[in-house]
Amino acid sequence: MATEIATISERGKSLAQRASTSLTSMDPPKGWSVDRQITRTVLRQIDFEPFFCTIESVAALGVAIAASGRPAKDPPTLCDVIDLATGELQILVMNKVLLSELDRAFPDNGYVGRSFAIVRHGHQDATDTDKRYKLYKILELKKEGAVFSSAGKGVIDGTSTAAVDAAKKRA
């Protein structure tokens, strides 16, 4: 099992490196510069594997897409992030617990412009209804040598049943 997880993790890093390399090698012709990145990939979340990002936009509802022959699911909540490992602008799919914990710690969309280390966890003692709620541990990051820092919220522990309950109330 640990070997499988390591293999999947390495495969994900390899894909991220290739995507990052292909983006940076898209140098425009002489006399032109890149104005903005239009297309983005989804930042991949793997259970129990941390990812590091700076949140660049307020979380907003995406578009509900129906699979053929099935009704559309609820639209996902998305935000733009910069993957600190690759420097790539990506999309982060935020579940209810992650968004609820960030909103609680940073009211009025105060999480925008801040950097985080985030680990998605499973829910060991979940009932059948709670199993769809992935739990998170969130650390706010500060760039070494920064002259000023944010409010210093530190560790946000979204791995408790209280975090799931708060997310349900928000829904």
pLDDT at 40: 87
| pLDDT of res. 168 | 63
Among 135, 143, 156, 144, which Cα is nearest to 45's? 135
C-alpha–C-alpha distance, residues 39 and 55, integer Å: 17
Would the pLDDT of 90 be above 50? yes
Give the CA angle between residues 91, 59, 76 to the nearest 5°.
Answer: 70
The mean pLDDT of the chain is 77
Structure token digits, residue 48 = 């129990």
Determine the pLDDT at residue 50.
93
What value does the mean pLDDT take over residues 89-114? 94
Look at domain 39-170 and name its CATH class.
Answer: mainly beta
Q: What is the pLDDT of residue 126?
A: 54
State if pTM tops 0.85. no
Q: Is there a contact between 102 and 83 (Cβ–Cβ < 8 Å)?
A: no
